[in-house]
Structure 1
Amino acid sequence: MDRLAKLAEETAKLDDRLSACMKCGTCQSVCPVFAESMRESDVARGKLSLLSDLAGKITSDAEGVRERLDRCLLCGSCQAACPSGVDILGAFLKAREISAKYLGLSPVKKLIFRAMLCNPKLFSLLAEVSAPFRGLVMRRQNDAPKTMRSPLLSPLIGDRRLPELPPETARQKFGDYDSPAGKSGIKVLFFAGCMGDKVYPNVTEACLKIFRARGVGVRMPSSLACCGIPALASGDADSFKKMLSHNLSKLEGEKFDYAVTACASCTETIEKFWPQYAEGRQKEQAERIAAKTLDISAFVADVLGVEPAKAPAERREKVTYHDSCHLAKSLGVRIQPRKLIEANPGCELVEMREPDRCCGCGGSFTLTHYGLSKKIGGRKRDNIAASGAETVACGCPACMMQISNMLALNGDAVKVEHVAEIYARSLGD
């Protein structure tokens, strides 16, 4: 089958996803990209119109199609609000896959997805070997959000502030982790994820502390790869399937009651996309794991149980909570993170305006559309500042990174923490 015939066949499969759209425009009222650009092509309705003749439009204006498809955070706000229940995210992911097959991936994305993320040993080695040399290009800012900046790399990353990178990864610190079930009688598979391993190992450490204090056994294999969502979101379904197959092969034979993550994106990917893309005999395995998968806050609140602090501390820190899109809109996890904050006697939960408004990260979106990402993030920063909070809690490391950047750029003395860190502190040493 020649290339154009294959393209036509692939795009025809999108028709069923698009037919339910009534063109009502509800998506327009909730889209964070449209709120800044006011471009119809940026909203779901405009993109779905693009997909209705995707084959023809790709052949006539391939780069224009790719640019329009890329101007999306995949936050799910449109899908959550859609009165017709259109599978908007599924359609966009498929369209990006078709576009990537026709146009190819950029050299940078090929390097990241195929050379690094598909090779977890190499990825980990690069992170570990580079650690001693970070000080040569990165400078700590000694600010509340704990960020670093790089004058040397400013031509590439602009004014972006990055998280303070740790001296060692979670994999280095904890290795191939396995602990028996305690008083709870529960054993979990903990999926640390790339960010929980290499950028925020403190979040992984907080989760392990929670499990230990609540009598939960933990299996955290050191051989797992990325969950695959960066590749899938960029249209590289082949790399996603490779990472998925690797992870499932490493988990074969592992026994656990729940699979738990501290990353909203990982949770959504394992729960929703692993079963959808797994093939052959691994499909049933992916479905079993997906059925057991929970976010850390949902696991603690819904499975173990958690109560509000009975004796609040005399001086309580004001904490506001940002609802990560994948956690709140895709998985419906909203109350549980707040329960974990309220269980800490030293914290007072103060709600910000629009707590579930997207922070503007969107994975690689913040790299390829940084100016737009900052505008969207600026609204989140303003809402955090207006709340009067001293700390903003998140359930997703990517949100933590984006919000830290926005707060640091504005000189705000607001800390950024994962909700697991806040709850872990309430459990003592």
Structure 2
Amino acid sequence: MKDIANLRTSLAELDDLLVTCMRCGMCQSVCPVFKDSMLEGDVARGKLALIDSLAKRMIDSPVEVKDRLEKCLLCGSCEANCPSGVKITDIFIKARAILTGYIGLSPMKKAIFRRTLVHPRLFSGLLSMGSKFQGIMTSQADPFLGTSCSKIMSPLIGDRHFMPLAKRPFRKDYSGMDTGKGTANIRVAFYPGCVVDKMLPQVGHAVIKVLEHHGCGIYLPKNQGCCGIPTLASGDEESFLKLLKHNLKPFSSGNYDVLVTPCATCTSTIKKLWPKMAAKISPEAEKKAERIANRTMDISEFLVKHFDVDLAAQAGKGTTKTVTWHDPCHLKKSIGVSEEPRAILKGLPGYEFVEMNEADTCCGNGGSFNLAHYDTSSRIGGRKRENILATGADVVTTGCPACMMQMTDMLSQGHDHVAVKHVIELYADAL
């Protein structure tokens, strides 16, 4: 009876969120999935119409409804451009949670999320082991970008060109730090995120270098867990709440001024989703999550706003390369950060900044979307590749590790000699 009551409450909450949608169709013009398929069911308006009768459709064809709702990048383009201010991302996440609660997780997701990801030490240990043996199943795809591909046909990997697991993850070099305020009289908590830790440790090293250069004290708790977005995007609230509880402990007790991350998705999740979901745990947890969220910033935003980073005097000196920028959806559309990374790039010595056409258009990764709908993901990513190449840039930068993975795949497939870097890497190199 309790489960039925919870379901009734959740469906009622969905109804409250849906009433503001006017079915105007403005979402069609910005949805990357609709632009690829031109199917009404792939755009927000079509999905909202589906959700409007969710209670009945759950009984008739729950799996079909779940599949249709999951064909979404959760990029937030529709929400950012909605004239009615419909909280579309909240609606989709809630609907996915309702359906997952009704149908259940697939055996694979249950194994990954509930038996592995919610146990950070186990998760990190398994991937460390995987990094040692990945060469058995993979071969080099593109030496310039350092990508790998599968040696044998794999339904999971397919023909992707992917970045291999790091031989030495970030946490091995920085298993924990806890210093004072530093010469700048500011103490910064650092949340690197899973991809930086396990695949792109150089990004984490760059953040540490930059923070130390500016005289920041650093608080880096050991055994950090995933921010939880992969679980929530799959409708697994149970795993998300476990990870949230795990992360609330070190970040609610640490004495710091600002929490920074080099991952747009982690930043958005911490700022927007942690407080909302923490309310399901307890009022105290909600307050803790809100305090953390209010102190969380993207690394480029933090540098520009706290240190007035101005390299303009050096800009263009000894220019040898051109650089362009891709706006991660969760950075620009979710938390409104776009000018800060450009300010850093425009001042880099040795680089000329070139603006990319459709810089804020989704790259097509979308986390698990890339795994479930790779054909669509790669077509959307192919458009991003064309825009990158059209700039003639030597380097494309961004502020999201997932976007880096997608652009690396697309450029590697074409054997294009365009380096893919995080903005903080270039800034650290310039110091």
**What's the TM-score once normalised by structure 1's chain length?**
0.97
Segment of structure 1 superposing worse, 271-280 or 123-132: 123-132
CA distance in 2, matches of 1:49, 1:193: 35
* Matching of residue 276 in structure 1 with residue 276 in structure 2: yes
CA distance in 1, matches of 2:155, 2:69: 26
Check the 8 A contact 2:252/2:292 in 1, yes or no: no
Check the 8 A contact 2:96/2:235 in 1, yes or no: yes
The corresponding residue for 1:141 is 141
The corresponding residue for 1:10 is 10
* Matching of residue 57 in structure 1 with residue 61 in structure 2: no
Segment of structure 1 superposing worse, 346-355 or 139-148: 139-148
Give deviations 1:25-68, integer Å, cap 9, x for gaps.
10000000000110101111111111111010111011110111
Shift of 1:367: 0.0
CA distance in 1, matches of 2:226, 2:165: 18
Check the 8 A contact 2:252/2:289 in 1, yes or no: no
* Matching of residue 377 in structure 1 with residue 377 in structure 2: no
The corresponding residue for 2:418 is 414
Shift of 1:315: 3.1
Aligned pairs for 1:229-240 (under 5 A) are 229-240=229-240
The corresponding residue for 1:241 is 241
The corresponding residue for 2:158 is 158
Check the 8 A contact 1:117/1:123 in 2, yes or no: yes
Check the 8 A contact 2:311/2:348 in 1, yes or no: yes
CA distance in 2, matches of 1:15, 1:130: 44
The corresponding residue for 2:48 is 48
From 298, 307, 312, give the equivalent of 2:310.
307
Shift of 1:309: 3.4
CA distance in 1, matches of 2:124, 2:91: 33
Shift of 1:2: 7.5
Segment of structure 1 superposing worse, 154-163 or 226-235: 154-163
Shift of 1:11: 1.6
From 402, 405, 417, give the equivalent of 1:401.
405
The corresponding residue for 1:362 is 366
Give deviations 1:51-94, integer Å, cap 9, x for gaps.
11101011101111011101100000000000000000000000
Amino acid at match of 2:108: V
CA distance in 1, matches of 2:333, 2:386: 22
Shift of 1:263: 0.3
Give deviations 1:358-390, integer Å, cap 9, x for gaps.
000001000000111011111111100111111
Aligned residue for 2:225, secondary structure, equals coil
From 322, 339, 351, give the equivalent of 2:355.
351
The corresponding residue for 1:293 is 296
The corresponding residue for 2:216 is 216
Check the 8 A contact 1:323/1:334 in 2, yes or no: yes
The corresponding residue for 2:201 is 201
Aligned residue for 1:417, secondary structure, equals strand
With over 3 angstroms needed to count, the CA separation of the structure-2 counterparts of 1:5 and 1:188, relative to structure 1, is closer
Give deviations 1:102-133, integer Å, cap 9, x for gaps.
11111111111111210001011112222221
* Matching of residue 267 in structure 1 with residue 271 in structure 2: no
CA distance in 2, matches of 1:296, 1:370: 30
- Root-mean-square deviation (CA), in Å? 1.4
The corresponding residue for 1:66 is 66
CA distance in 2, matches of 1:363, 1:129: 23
CA distance in 2, matches of 1:155, 1:106: 16
Aligned residue for 2:317, secondary structure, equals coil
Aligned residue for 2:397, secondary structure, equals strand
Aligned residue for 2:74, secondary structure, equals coil
Aligned residue for 1:154, secondary structure, equals coil
CA distance in 1, matches of 2:357, 2:134: 37
Check the 8 A contact 2:319/2:352 in 1, yes or no: no
* Matching of residue 326 in structure 1 with residue 341 in structure 2: no
| Percent identity of equivalent pairs | 48
The corresponding residue for 1:78 is 78
Aligned residue for 1:366, secondary structure, equals helix
CA distance in 1, matches of 2:17, 2:375: 31
Shift of 1:4: 6.0
Amino acid at match of 2:263: C
Segment of structure 1 superposing worse, 77-86 or 126-135: 126-135
The corresponding residue for 2:178 is 178
Aligned residue for 2:217, secondary structure, equals strand
CA distance in 2, matches of 1:39, 1:8: 31
CA distance in 2, matches of 1:132, 1:48: 45
Aligned residue for 1:320, secondary structure, equals strand
Gap runs ≥5 in structure 2? none
CA distance in 2, matches of 1:140, 1:375: 23
Check the 8 A contact 1:148/1:163 in 2, yes or no: yes
CA distance in 2, matches of 1:87, 1:8: 20
Aligned residue for 1:148, secondary structure, equals strand
Check the 8 A contact 2:310/2:347 in 1, yes or no: yes
CA distance in 1, matches of 2:198, 2:377: 23
Amino acid at match of 2:340: Q
Check the 8 A contact 1:146/1:404 in 2, yes or no: no
CA distance in 2, matches of 1:322, 1:143: 23
With over 3 angstroms needed to count, the CA separation of the structure-2 counterparts of 1:23 and 1:252, relative to structure 1, is closer
Check the 8 A contact 2:188/2:217 in 1, yes or no: yes
Amino acid at match of 1:55: A
Amino acid at match of 1:28: Q
The corresponding residue for 2:255 is 255
Amino acid at match of 1:412: D
The corresponding residue for 1:190 is 190
Aligned residue for 1:165, secondary structure, equals coil
CA distance in 1, matches of 2:2, 2:296: 41
